[in-house]
Amino acid sequence: MSPALLGWLERPPSGTALVDVRAGRSWTYAELAAEVLRRAAAIAGRRKSLVACLCRTDAQSAIAYLGAMAAGHAVMMLDGTAERDTIGRLLDLYQAEFLLDGEGCERLRVSNGPIDDELALLLSTSGSTGSPKYVRLSRHNLDANAAQIVQILDIDGGERAVQALPLHYSYGLSVLNSHLLAGASVVFPGAGLVRPRFWEAMREHACTSLAGVPYTYAILARIGFEHTALPDLRTLTQAGGRMEPETVLHFGRHMIERGGRLVVMYGQTEATARIAYVPPDRVLDKPDRVGVAVPGGRLSLADDGELLYEGPNVMLGYAWRRADLAAGHVNGGRLATGDLAGVDDEGFYSIVGRKRRVAKLSGQRVNLDELEILLMGHGRVAALELSGRLVLVRAAGATTPGRELSRHAGDLIRLPTRLIRVLDVDRLPLTSTGKTDYGTLADELAASDD
């Protein structure tokens, strides 16, 4: 039986739970518990509702999320910086009863359809903010994965994490959840990594850990992180995509020099957040691995090389609309990751490719099939990744100007349009079943580039 994520509501540990630097406020666990229960009471109801939470990287967003969880409702995490239209469409599609925005709380509609008893959280998997596809997670999933993370990172009450990643992103949320489970502190710095205030906040609040995606490390290398005084920093974690082994080695060695460690992890929203990790004492001799399964989980390979994971943190299933929230478990604790992997003689796994068409663009995972569907209003478009760029290919005769198509795609997946190319071809090659033939298309594009 894993400890419960909200266990501190009844028995708050001593010490600080949250610090919000911009707001100039902090909350002890006792203060946080009182505030969370007050927020929960405002949306309490006999029927289980869907509560949409607009996430910004601040303490009020975290408190809103915790309040909705404490009320026993299902919570949908939305990117608070997304376009209003995008948010409105999702609220309609999922018929959310409440919308929490910072300290604000709005009742959107009366109860609107059954929600499974176990469902606690909806998280988006894709970089496309408009995508209707969400992962359904239970309280058991959240409790289990937070406990797994506490164990692999050895988080105790003395830890203070700086929250540099968004709360609507599974990795970002896992930082908050695991630290609250351990009775540790989370500091919202109120500024981005490239602002001096971020680093001042880390120093002033004695932060011991920083979680980053590969892009974070590219920024750290550019702003002279190695020479930045951070006397309390002990742990850097990295997840959210493959990082170059040279970069892993560089930061792995640097953290050892600082008397700390780099922990490389692997995960998916479909497994709440984390699936595997490289024990930090092995990071220098296994810089290209995703490592071993988190405690209580098990990794294996399917016949075709696909990485399979079993564990208590595997999602209930997906959702595309309100009606899906009534569904229960569909996975039986097993997840086909969609990643192709290999395993070495010590049982360390490495990812060698993707089974599905997912591109990593500018650090974000973009499901190319989903993007094509979202762009269907402009006619048939084939999306593919070529040398770090998103290429949108369409058959001659398309009416939308290329610039407009590229801006729309850029807005959907938050990609600068300079990384998007729109190409018009005579015709899109098709397979015998009428699907786009991406292999042939990529070959044709490569040939015409010469």
Contacts to another protein by CB under 8 A: 81, 191-196, 199, 215-216, 218-219, 222-224, 227, 362-363, 410, 416-418
Among residues 73 and 168, whose Cβ is nearest to another protein?
168
Name the residue among 139, 129, 194 with its Cα closest to residue 5: 139
Q: State the minimum distance, in angstroms, from the CB of residue 304 to another protein.
A: 35
Cα four-point dihedral sign 374, 380, 382, 388: negative
- In DSSP terms, which residues pair with 261 in a beta bridge? 235
One-letter amino acid identity for 1? M
Q: C-alpha distances in angstroms, 435 versus 405, 430, 431, 432, 438?
A: 21, 5, 5, 7, 9
Three-class SS of residue 181? helix
For residue 48, the SS3 value is coil
Looking at beta carbons only, is 418 or 427 nearer to another protein?
418
Instruction: Please report how close the Cβ of residue 205 comes to another protein at its closest, in angstroms.
Output: 19
- Report how far apart, in Å, the C-alpha atoms of 264 and of each of 240, 249, 272, 290, 424 are: 10, 11, 17, 7, 41
| CB nearer another protein, residue 39 or residue 56 | 56
CB 413 to another protein: min, Å:
12
Separation in Å, CA 88 to CA 52, 346, 447: 11, 49, 43
User: What is the closest distance, in whole angstroms, from the C-beta atom of residue 72 to another protein in the complex?
Assistant: 34
In the complex, the smallest distance separating the C-beta of residue 360 from another protein, rounded to whole angstroms, is 14
Q: How far is the CB of 194 from another protein (least distance, A)?
A: 4
Name the minimum Å distance from CB 417 to another protein.
Answer: 6
User: Rounded to 5 degrees, what angle do the CA atoms 385, 391, 396 make?
Assistant: 140
Residue (120 or 233) nearer to another protein, CB: 233
**DSSP for 288-324, written as a single string:** T--BEEPTT-EEEE-TTSEEEEESTTS-SEEESSGGG
**CA separation (Å) from 295 to 83, 146, 203, 240, 298?**
39, 11, 32, 20, 8
Q: Rank residues 37 and 191 by Cβ distance to another protein and give the closer one.
A: 191
Nearer to another protein by Cβ, of 65 and 199: the residue is 199
Element holding 204 (H helix, E strand): helix 196-204
Q: How far is the CB of 22 from another protein (least distance, A)?
A: 10
CB within 8 Å of 118: residues ≥ 6 apart? 138, 139, 140, 316, 328, 329
Other Cβ atoms less than 10 A from the Cβ of 192: the count is 11
> Closer CB to another protein, residue 190 or residue 252?
190
Residue 215 or 438 with smaller CB distance to another protein: 215
